[in-house]
């Protein structure tokens, strides 16, 4: 186990699978005590066990990021258990593949509630906890869809773009208040996760019309200059850097991890 975030306490939302699980495991390997949260507990025991078996320290708490009282509870339990909160990764998120004419208000509010409002609540509560114990790092997971548009994902794009300006504003506020709290965003591209798997099924069904997911995957890979999709650890390493003291001069900025996709 290395020590890039040794003595730090991290809370990672949406951590029972996918990017969140990879981020939590990475932070634990590098010395942090980690609190994993998610709306459902299914699968969380396996992630916690993996961390503990590798010599790390982790617990899981059920957590609906849209509920302020849930944020108050999980942060209170984190501080009670580990003494402080020094890293917060707002990773929980959902996607909805609807264009501007098709999206319903209900779908719009569902995506915004989890992706944007959940991130706002976490950032707000995280600042409140961190400023009492010397500061910390907040990493908000946006997306390349927060930087470039996709005609099929109006609610998702809007929520992820909102996270960018939310984070910049919070970063400036924390700097002005001398809280020693940094706020940054990470922008994953197409990472090989369950969410991207669902996107590929949608593409295969509605775009190619033949249901060939493997063909859709190859076509998507070819659109990346590096020629392949990303892996969860590619994003986890980016979060690790921003969470660590190595990034002490980085705040209010965006770190893009997309295999060159948005450079074209």
Under 8 Å between Cβ of 138 and 181: yes
Whole-angstrom distance, CA of residue 251 vs CA of residue 89: 14
Length of the chain: 264
Please give the C-alpha separations between residue 120 and each of 13, 14, 116, in angstroms, as whole numbers. 13, 15, 6
Which positions are catalytic? 156
Under 8 Å between Cβ of 182 and 250: yes
Phi, psi (rounded to 5 degrees) for 17: -165, 175
As to burial, measured by CB atoms within 10 angstroms (0-12 exposed, 13-18 middle, 19+ buried), residue 111 is buried
């Amino acid at each position: 186990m290395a020590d890039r975030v040794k003595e730090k306490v991290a809370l990672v939302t949406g951590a029972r699978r996918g990017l969140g699980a990879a981020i939590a495991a990475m932070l634990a390997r590098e010395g942090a005590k980690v609190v994993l949260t998610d709306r459902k507990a299914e699968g969380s025991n396996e992630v916690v066990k993996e961390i503990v078996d590798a010599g790390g320290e982790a617990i899981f708490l059920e957590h609906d990021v849209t509920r302020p009282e849930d944020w108050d509870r999980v942060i209170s339990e984190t501080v009670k258990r580990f003494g402080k909160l020094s890293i917060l990764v707002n990773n929980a998120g959902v996607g909805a593949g609807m264009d501007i004419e098709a999206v319903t208000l209900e779908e719009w509010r569902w995506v915004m509630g989890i992706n944007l409002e959940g991130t706002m609540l976490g950032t707000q509560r995280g600042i409140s906890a961190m400023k009492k114990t010397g500061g910390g790092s907040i990493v908000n997971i946006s997306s390349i869809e927060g930087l470039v548009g996709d005609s099929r994902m109006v609610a998702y794009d809007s929520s992820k773009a909102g996270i960018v300006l939310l984070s910049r504003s919070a970063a400036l506020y924390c700097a002005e208040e001398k809280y020693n709290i940094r706020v940054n965003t990470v922008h994953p591209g197409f990472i090989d996760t369950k969410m991207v798997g669902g996107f590929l099924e949608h593409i295969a069904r509605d775009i190619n019309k033949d249901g060939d997911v493997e063909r859709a995957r190859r076509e998507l890979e070819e659109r990346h200059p590096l020629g392949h999709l990303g892996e969860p650890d590619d994003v986890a390493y980016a979060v690790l850097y921003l969470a660590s003291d190595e990034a002490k001069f980085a705040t209010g900025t965006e770190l893009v991890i997309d295999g060159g996709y948005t450079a074209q």
